[in-house]
Amino acid sequence: MSRKVIIAGNWKMNKTAAEGKALVEALKPLVADVCPECAEIVVCPPFTTLAAVVEAARGSNIKVGAQNVHWAESGAFTGEISAAMLKEAGAEFVILGHSERRQYFGETDETVNKRLKAALAAGLKPIVCIGELLEEREGGRTEEVLARQLEGGLAGLTGEEMSRVVIAYEPVWAIGTGKTATPEMAELTHNFIRCTLNDLFGREIGEGVRIQYGGSMKPENAKELVAQRNIDGGLIGGAALKAESFSALIHNAIAK
């Protein structure tokens, strides 16, 4: 089964609207040669930068996503953003359950699941993040943790809904640390994730789900990582904040 590569930049809490617009304007000509059939390119700015980035990306091959969404349609949820608000701002994708949200903002598999259902109902394309902590890997509990995150986060989804979801495997110990999982180590884990998806949703759906790697992915290691059978792209932090490095990473990831 061939799965289209998807490279997404998670800008985290970086880039004002003016800075985000400038980044996309700089990125556009650098990635104009990447055909939509070869790879999907996504940038995920902060909420207040979304509209400016959507405008700057219009007519290009760069798609736009948000970094979180609340599950309610509206109401007394100070500081939260609804799926309809993201859609209106022009977001196509939304990142859910990033480890920083799990670590610092009390995100759980249950709340990821509620956000996921709201995102799918609104027609957003969710990127669901999973990943183990260093002590969990060292304690031999990686598979147990990932299985729990997948079962909880994806609970109650139909196969059709699952086919619209992208999974991002981000080992927490590799995020922003410069430590990348080796391609072989990442592939073993991606293969485990694939098998778990096959068990949960059947092979026909599981084999089609794209699984991104995230955690210190750089222009230098993107090719080897994405060359692995079950690594279908990347979710990029630091290297997505400059047009040159993000473009180089994308080109390396899809180089034959």
- Name the one range near ligand 13P by CB under 6 A: 20-28, 58-66, 214-222, 243-251: 214-222
- Residue tagged active-site, from 107, 170, 190, 251: 170
Name residues contacting ligand 13P, limited to 26-55 (CB under 6 A): none
Minimum CB–partner distance for residue 1 and ligand 13P (Å): 25
Query: Phi, psi (5° rounding) for residue 160?
Result: -60, -40
98 is catalytic: yes
For ligand 13P, give the closer residue by CB, 153 or 214: 214
- Name the one range near ligand 13P by CB under 6 A: 35-43, 186-194, 197-205, 232-240: 232-240
For ligand 13P, give the closer residue by CB, 146 or 205: 146
Please give the C-alpha separations between residue 175 and each of 3, 86, 239, in angstroms, as whole numbers: 25, 26, 12
Between CA 80 and CA 69 the distance in angstroms is 7
Among 42, 120, 166, 175, contact with ligand 13P (rule: CB under 6 A): 175
190 is catalytic: no
Instruction: Give yes or no for residue 214 binding ligand 13P (CB under 6 A).
Output: yes
Minimum CB–partner distance for residue 65 and ligand 13P (Å): 11
Minimum CB–partner distance for residue 131 and ligand 13P (Å): 9
Instruction: Give yes or no for residue 170 binding ligand 13P (CB under 6 A).
Output: yes
For ligand 13P, give the closer residue by CB, 10 or 196: 10
Q: Which residue is nearest to ligand 13P (CB)?
A: 237
- Residue tagged active-site, from 98, 132, 136, 251: 98
Where do contacts with ligand 13P occur on this chain (CB under 6 A)?
A: 10, 98, 170, 175-176, 214-217, 235-239
List active site positions: 98, 170
